[in-house]
Structure 1
């Protein structure tokens, strides 16, 4: 039986091949689509490559102090060196929380970098605590510098292994003891409530080892805490005491070399690796210069801050050699409690060895 459909419309017959001009058109269209997709992909990749690396950095440093200004200069150097491809935003005055909060924020990507002191740094690497959790260990800043430079390469490797790049190190000189009542020897301070940073369990344990009563609080609580009697004494570098106006209620400062206030500026390795590889040496150099500036300016400004606070009523108590010997003796007695518990025995012994080595050379 013949089909009722004409050949061109008969569904039972194989369709006739497309005319040649149609096949050419399809091939051209396919190629055009592929080329367009490739161009779009390349454009997206180029846009991604051109997107600036944005680094949010937090610090407890007060606004307009030398640490803050050094970070600003570092950020400007980064911007110029990379043609705006690395952009730094700085959050001062603990606006991102305490140092433990800053480390937590870095780990979850809310911020990418921080300028931290040792209590914050130990949230990442315990061994760095040896630089600041040994009261009266160092007699001079030259002695501290010698010990630190010997330890620095090993510490930086430990941070790198834990996912952080150390951009620079710095310090602000000696921590002094600011108190509401005058004090000269350790027994005077055992009657006082002493501020320690909230989350800084090691500093609190060091105070307990010295049989002093620690009271944890945030930096923003220092001034009102002193005013209300929440605590009676604050260990602080003079530049922070001046900026925070601690010298008002805590109008007595014992001039002893308690511990150096050591810090480092660190960045997550993920963010660091996102910066242009060919620019990293320049970025690192700018960061190192910032660290040197913090150290030089911080030590100088600490002395200037004391003079400024004296004009505003601060009373400086200068300990006698006998007073200092009393402090050293009690600190030495606390070392067995600190060694192997608050600071690893290996790090403690290494520091003690380097201190002894420096003093032997200095004779």
Structure 2
């Protein structure tokens, strides 16, 4: 069955919009210190480095970026704390990290709601002004938004029923409210761990089920511990790069406009590259012998309905903790609006 976990932190490679070398940063008048959990080495890095260099050139050397890769500045909560202390200026974050600043942003990560990337994009774009205003009120500027990808459930055994699923040892990210509520609604007691503890916990059988994007599963080599991947994903993971308003206000208005324009122009290229990475990693998974567990063929209709009911309960239970009822209603209304305007778009993302 499909489930919801928060394994998207490593996929922040799709959000590191600016990746300059140290020399370029040193030559700039204003050096913005950024941190990300993303490892250096993806094909996406080339796109980001070109974008960062273009920003440096078009701002006449006013703005440069120094990026701390691979989590050397700590996890997302650590980075946010350092930004508030002035030790860093910004970072590339997943929805989980962004939610530490603006909880409302998590409303588009609710499980088992969005059928494909187009639905996600439609809703997020229309909520974007609201979210950017909320971030600015908290002292942050959103430089660029990203779609990290869809989460799939990985397991060591076929998840042939709710009973079997409840017998497994599921992982959830420490302090993750959406995962907590979804597992609770499913009758599952997950094991809370940091991302850095997942690989060891899989090796020692402390956990045996988890959700991840294909890229994450390959990047962290988690897939070597699994035998199955579920046919359908559970949710789409949001990401964004944000910087402190304090340093943003030191940049000239002209350069600020240049940065935002270049970032938004590159949005499509970056997301396309990220999806290609996911596609490539999915092929690696299947070539390695990971078997696709076909939900439609193996799970009873009443159990599928139970999952969707649990997802509805999850999003309702998070009202007041992450977002308001008004914002949840608006999100669902936008999704309904898209489906009415695009009746031909009934495709549900799945592993073919």
TM-score computed with the length of structure 2 as normaliser: 0.81
Q: Does residue 96 in structure 1 map to residue 76 in structure 2?
A: no
Counterpart-to-counterpart distance in 2, 1:65 and 1:255? 26
Unpaired runs of 5+ in structure 1?
1-49
Which residue, 328, 335, 346 being the options, matches 1:355? Answer: 335
**Residue in 2 that maps onto 1:176:** 152
Q: What is the Cα deviation at residue 124 of structure 1?
A: 0.7
Once residues 163 and 114 of structure 2 are traced to their aligned partners in structure 1, the CA distance between those partners, rounded to angstroms, is 21
Q: Is the 8 A contact 1:61 1:67 kept in 2?
A: no
Per the alignment, do residues 192 and 72 of structure 1 end up closer, same or farther by CA in structure 2, a change over 3 Å counting? farther
Do the aligned partners of 1:61 and 1:94 also contact (CA within 8 Å) in 2?
yes
Write the deviation string for residues 117-139 of structure 1: whole angstroms up to 9, x where unpaired. 1110011111101011x110112
5 Å-filtered alignment, 1:186-197, equals 186-197=162-173
Give the 5 Å matches for 1:5-84. 52-65=29-42, 68-84=45-61
1:114–1:69: structure 2 CA closer, same or farther, 3 Å change rule? farther
1:108 aligns with 2:85: yes
Matches within 5 A, 1:207-286: 207-286=183-262
**Shift of the alpha carbon at 1:179?**
1.8
Counterparts of 1:193 and 1:289 in 2: how far apart (Å)?
Answer: 43
Task: Flag the structure with larger Rg.
Answer: 1
Partner deviation per Cα, 1:88-118 (whole Å, 9 max, x = no partner): 1222222222211111111111211111111
Query: RMSD over aligned Cα, in angstroms?
Result: 2.2
> Which residue matches 2:281?
305
Measured after TM superposition, the shift of residue 67 of structure 1 is 5.3
Deviation of 1:352 after TM superposition, in Å, equals 1.5
Aligned partner of 1:346 in structure 2 is: 326
Q: Secondary structure at the match of 1:320?
A: helix
Residue from 131, 135, 140 that aligns with 2:116: 140
* CA positional deviation for 1:334: 3.5
What CA distance in whole angstroms lies between the structure 1 residues aligned with 2:173 and 2:269?
26
Residue number in structure 2 paired with 1:151: 127
Aligned partner of residue 141 in structure 2, secondary structure: strand
What secondary structure does 1:283 align onto?
A: helix
CA deviations over 1:298-322 (Å, ceiling 9, x no partner)? 2232122111111122222232074
**Contact 2:153 2:233 (C-alpha < 8 Å) held by counterparts:** no
How many residues are treated as equivalent by the alignment? 313
Query: Equivalent residue for 1:164?
Result: 140
Residue matched to 1:38: none
For the 8 Å contact 1:114–1:265, the answer to whether it is kept is yes
Moved more, 123-132 or 306-315: 306-315
Q: 1:337 to 1:185 in 2, by over 3 A?
A: farther
Contact 2:229 2:290 in 1 (8 A): yes
Contact kept in structure 2, 1:170 and 1:292, CA below 8 Å = no
> Aligned to 1:56, what secondary structure does the other structure show?
strand
Q: Could you report, residue by residue, the CA deviation over 1:14-41 in whole angstroms, capped at 9, with x for unpaired residues?
A: xxxxxxxxxxxxxxxxxxxxxxxxxxxx
Higher relative contact order (CA closer than 8 Å, sequence separation 6+):
2
Map of 1:314 onto structure 2: 290
Distance 1:219 1:291, change over 3 A: farther
Structure 2: 5+ residue stretches without partners: 1-26, 344-352
1:95–1:146 CA distance, 2 compared to 1 (3 A): same
In 2, Cα distance between equivalents of 1:85 and 1:107: 23
Question: Structure 1 residue 151: deviation in Å?
Answer: 0.6
Contact 1:128 1:155 in 2 (8 A): yes
Q: Distance in 2 between matches of 1:210 and 1:67?
A: 36
Aligned partners of 1:238 and 1:302 also within 8 Å? yes
